[in-house]
Amino acid sequence: MSHFSSRLFLRPLAEADMPALFDICLRTADGGKDATALFSDARLPGFIWAAPYGQFEPDFAFILADGDKAVGYVIGAPDTGAFLDRLDAEWWPYVREELKTIAPSRPLDEMALARIHAPERTKGWLLKDYPAHLHINIVEEAQSSGWGRKMIEAELNALKSHGVAGVHLGVHPLNERAKGFYRHIGFEDLSRDGNVIFAMKLNG
């Protein structure tokens, strides 16, 4: 383990980490690479893939820290159906209001706005055996440090302690690195209909 990676540590999310969730999400939102140039509002990816987890599921959110700086996160929801219902009621109306004056001009604006205005529902077949889902994002300088594996373990332990039967996650089709990572650490590839999906049973 390098000197840099040995000084990193994992800790529970704190309220003060919300800006870091937005920032890390933006810096990894282009299939794992920096997407800063691709969104006209820097909060767009974080509104979808990071901040609501900090807001509504803080017990399943962990920060990879370098001193007082956040360099990665793993976040999740134990009951995806209930989480998405909550976003419909309490999150998307707020986000739409925040973005009501946005004029889409960058390459990924339209995709993000479509997800915010018509959020996707997870398929029933997936929720039955794998009701939880997670996201993991580490900034480039802290990747390949062995922390990705440890962060996934922390998230799986939190979900197992909560009695969750299984967990799934979606991967950008071009994110070959993440696909290799999930396969290597024991996730099953359940991809279908053009969606790249990995999953793992946790209890029983």
Q: Which residues bind ligand COA (CB under 6 A)?
A: 28, 32, 136-138, 143-149, 171, 175, 177-178, 180-181, 184-185
Smallest distance from ligand COA to CB 55, Å: 20
Q: CB of residue 133 vs ligand COA: minimum separation in angstroms?
A: 11
Nearer to ligand COA by Cβ, of 84 and 142: the residue is 142
Give least dist CB 152 to ligand COA, A: 8
Q: How far is the CB of 8 from ligand COA (least distance, A)?
A: 10
Is the Cβ of residue 117 or residue 184 nearer to ligand COA in the bound state?
184
Q: How far is the CB of 101 from ligand COA (least distance, A)?
A: 30
Nearer Cβ to ligand COA, position 40 or 143? 143
| CB nearer to ligand COA: pick between 40 and 175 | 175
Residue number, 150 or 162, with CB nearest to ligand COA: 150
Looking at beta carbons only, is 61 or 99 nearer to ligand COA? 61
Report the residue closest to ligand COA, judged by CB: 148
Question: 135 pairs with which residues across the strands?
Answer: 75
Other CB atoms within 10 Å distance of the CB of residue 62: 22
- Residue 3's DSSP bridge partners are none
Compute the least distance from the CB of residue 58 to ligand COA, in Å. Answer: 20
Q: Which residue has the tokens 């967990």?
A: 167
Residue 153: HSE in the Cβ half-sphere, 13 Å Cα cutoff:
7
